[in-house]
Every structure is written in C-alpha cells, then in structure tokens.
C-alpha cells in the first residue's frame, strides 16, 4: 500500500471517529433539550406561547424568523403570518 493511500485512510478514519464522538457529546443546543421530560417540554412550550401572546417584540422576531424564509410562494408566507394570529392571538 502506498504512503498516500495510508495517509488518506488514516485521515478518513480520524474524521469518522471525530464526528462520532461529536455526535455522542451532542451540540450545545442538542444537549440543552436532549434529556427533557414531556412535562418540561410542555412547560417550555407554554412559555413560548405566552411570550408570543404578550410580547410584541418577541412575536415580531419569531414571525420574521419563521415566515420570511418562505419567499418562493407569497400566499404561503401570508398563511404563515396569519397562523400566528389564529393559534397565538395577541392578548
């Protein structure tokens, strides 16, 4: 086996092991919610809904974040924006 083939194989194996250990460790975001119980998820979800209903800045940010990427069909974007009023109306 040539020297270059060995180096390429070693680099490939290193990459596989490095990505596997990174997946096992989890990302910062993934670790935050990975071991969340259903009750904790419900609490976090209720807080998100409450913030959407009571804080205009939070609501505007999330409408931009979730609806602005839908720019290929204007009707879908308008439906996305309307869904905020339907499911989490401002109080």
pLDDT for 47: 96
- The two tokens of residue 38 are 């259903």
Which residues lie below 8 Å from residue 88, measured CB to CB, with a gap of 6+?
Answer: 49, 52, 53, 59
pLDDT for 3: 67
pLDDT tens-digit readout, 36-82: 899 999 999 999 999 999 999 999 999 999 999 999 999 999 999 99
Rounded Cα distance, 18 and 3, in Å: 22
DSSP tag of 90: -
């Amino acid at each position: 086996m040539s020297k270059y083939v060995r180096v390429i194989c070693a680099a490939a194996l290193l990459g596989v092991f490095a990505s596997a250990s990174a997946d096992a460790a989890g990302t910062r975001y993934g670790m935050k919610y990975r071991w969340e119980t259903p009750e904790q998820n419900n609490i976090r979800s209720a807080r998100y809904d409450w913030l959407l209903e009571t804080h205009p800045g939070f609501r505007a940010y999330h409408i931009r974040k979730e609806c602005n990427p839908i720019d290929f069909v204007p009707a879908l974007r308008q439906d996305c924006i309307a869904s905020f009023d339907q499911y989490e109306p401002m109080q």
